[in-house]
Amino acid sequence: MLLPARLDELNADELRHLVQELAAEVSQQAALIGQKDHELNWRQAKIDKLTHELALHKRWRFSARSEQLSAEQARLFEETVDTDLAAIETELEQLSSPKPPDEKAKPRRQPLPPHLPRHDIHHEPEQRTCPCGCQLKRIGEDIAEKLDYTPGVFTVERHIRGKWVCAQCETLFQAPVPAQVIDKGIPTAGLLAHVMVAKFADHQPLYRLSGILDRSGMTIPPSTLGQWVGVTGVALQPLVDALKEALLERPVLHADETPVAMLNPGAGKTHRAYLWSYGTPVFETMKAVIYDFADSRAGKHAKAFLGDWRGTLVCDDYAAYNALFAHGITEAGCMAHARRRFFDLHANHQSQIAGEALEIFGQIYGVERDVADLTADERLRIRQAKARPIADALHTWLMTQRQRVPTGSATAKAIDYSLNRWVALTHYLDDGRVPIDNNWIENRIRPVALGRGNWLFAGSLRAGQRAAAIMSLIQSAKLNGHDPYAYLKDVLARLPTQPVSRISELLPHRWQPQSRAC
């Protein structure tokens, strides 16, 4: 604020008012400085953490290879570290102040092979008239080549940016460089999408993918592919965060978890980590699944993921979820798990009691098949009218049979499981939005179990989290009927210029393909 020229000319009230204004301004500036200090401290702490992580990964990557790892394990570990290094360096670049490019430190990229087909994409100024009124004259062009890939065939995109000049004022005009996920890199969105799908949907290790691409006419080292995966994973993370935010707006969710081996580089061996899965029910119009990689099966991971969410959680009988139910989340059990125990009894021992139980479970599931395509209100009405009497009869039958079988027997354990969880198992009868079992999310986790045979283990916690994030987008795209390659190709092309306020348009359940003019 501006101070008066002579303070001695002010009366007492004016001085008092001036002092109050100065005090308010000082307080406001102090609050602003405090906020800036907090932001700087957070940024510096993040930079220090990433710098330490970067140094640790470099030591793992460039130190002597552990003799405890087989050749195949070593290759998988090295590609994971290459990917992590690229991701960490990208995050550091985003946090650090931009630095002037060091031209001497830049490695010179080899030109793309001349035998590959070329596809020209022209970028010219929209206006051909200079602001001074003169017509522009084309005096040259800049050409940037990007490597594209349509499964089985490499091509080269030649981005031609014409140079236009005004003859009178000598002002140079040129269309801007199209934004890319990897700035100044050679891969197009199509090639990056293919690498992501190959690694995280088809579960191909990068060294195998490198060999496949080599047969298509272009040699790309696994280390380069790893760098692309790392940078692309960082670029896609805001979209995954937006998907998680949308998921946590739904009133009913599924949850499940599956073990995944994670490498401990210092020890040269693996330990058990877990991939947690959360998804919307089959009845929801929003089809989505999110994977969350964690280093253990502790309940704190589910609590951290769900945060303040309060709804109905469909899950198995696992103690890690109990803390959630004590803090406002409603439990819905899995009827398929209860049925499965009797199925195993019948399959292994031809148990007569198990056979009778399966018949009653079959009647309950028969009602579910009839209401699958109805609205929540209609589903609730029919469940109450038809399924509730069957469930009550099952409960009475279980209580009766429990008195006839010895404690500790397999039959008693199967019956006790259902009786002890009866409230959770039958919760779906009182809410038409809730499914009868947890099979939907178990099916979403099955591709991960199949893929473990290829990639063997997660190379690091960061690698597991990156894989979980990208698999979330791929599996959610498939749930919504999209080809994951077409989805990721379009998203990676649009993401660099997509406003943060409109990033939800790229979520799998809202995505509409956008044709891009050449």
**What's the average model confidence in pLDDT over 469-486?**
94
Distance CA(376)–CA(428), nearest Å, equals: 11
pLDDT at 149: 74
pLDDT at 366: 95
pLDDT at 389: 96
**What's the average model confidence in pLDDT over 85-95?**
73
Which uninterrupted H or E stretch holds 497? Answer: none
290 token code pair? 């999110």
How does residue 453 score in pLDDT terms, banded at 50, 70 and 90?
A: low
Tokens 């197009």 belong to 188
Is the CB of residue 296 less than 8 Å from the CB of residue 273? yes
pLDDT at 177: 82
**What's the average model confidence in pLDDT over 389-393?**
96
DSSP labels, 412-477 = HHHHHHHHHTHHHHTGGGG-TTS-S-SHHHHHHHHHHHHHHHHH-SBSSHHHHHHHHHHHHHHHHH
**What's the average model confidence in pLDDT over 54-64?**
61
Please give the DSSP secondary-structure letter assigned to residue 386: I
Q: Quick check: 39 pLDDT over 70?
A: yes
Q: Which amino acid is at 273?
A: A
How does residue 74 score in pLDDT terms, banded at 50, 70 and 90?
A: low
Q: Which amino acid is at 285?
A: T
Q: Quick check: 462 pLDDT over 60?
A: yes
Which uninterrupted H or E stretch holds 291? Answer: strand 289-294
pLDDT at 516: 53
**What's the average model confidence in pLDDT over 129-135?**
81
Of these ranges, 16-25, 181-190, 324-333, 387-396, the one predicted with the greatest mean pLDDT is 387-396
Nearest to 419 by CA among 452, 449, 435, 396: 396
pLDDT at 101: 46
Q: Which amino acid is at 64?
A: A
Burial of 282 (0-12, 13-18, 19+ CB in 10 A): middle
- Looking at per-residue pLDDT, the higher value among 405 and 77 belongs to 405
pLDDT at 60: 57
- Looking at per-residue pLDDT, the higher value among 446 and 409 belongs to 409
123 token code pair? 């970028």
pLDDT at 108: 62
CB proximity list for 248: less than 8 A, separation 6 or greater:
306, 307, 309
Nearest to 89 by CA among 57, 116, 63, 67: 57
Nearest to 367 by CA among 380, 382, 355: 382
pLDDT at 517: 45
Is the CB of residue 273 less than 8 Å from the CB of residue 298? no
Distance CA(446)–CA(465), nearest Å, equals: 18
Which uninterrupted H or E stretch holds 138? Answer: strand 136-150
What is the dihedral angle through the alpha carbons of 435, 436, 440, 443, rounded to the nearest 10 degrees?
A: 180
Q: Quick check: 21 pLDDT over 60?
A: yes
pLDDT at 47: 77
How does residue 100 score in pLDDT terms, banded at 50, 70 and 90?
A: very low
Q: What is the 3-state secondary structure (H, E, C) of 77-122?
A: HHHHHHHHHHHHHHHHHHHCCCCCCCHHHCCCCCCCCCCCCEEEEE
CB atoms within 10 A of CB 283: 18
**What's the average model confidence in pLDDT over 68-84?**
60
What whole-number percentage of the chain has pLDDT above 90? 38
**What's the average model confidence in pLDDT over 337-342?**
92
Is the CB of residue 257 less than 8 Å from the CB of residue 289? no
- Looking at per-residue pLDDT, the higher value among 466 and 454 belongs to 466
Average pLDDT over the chain, rounded to an integer: 84
User: What are the b/e assignments for 363-377, b being 16+ CB within 10 Å?
Assistant: ebbebbeebeeeeee
Instruction: Summarize pLDDT for 285-331 with one digit per residue, the tens.
Output: 999 999 999 988 888 999 999 999 999 999 988 888 888 898 889 99
Question: Any idea which of 226-240, 255-269, 420-434 has the lowest mean pLDDT?
Answer: 255-269
Q: Quick check: 491 pLDDT over 70?
A: yes
**What's the average model confidence in pLDDT over 406-412?**
88
Tokens 């051909």 belong to 128
Q: Tell me the residue ranges of DSSP E strands in 237-282.
A: 252-264, 269-279
CA angle 170, 175, 179 (to 5 degrees): 145
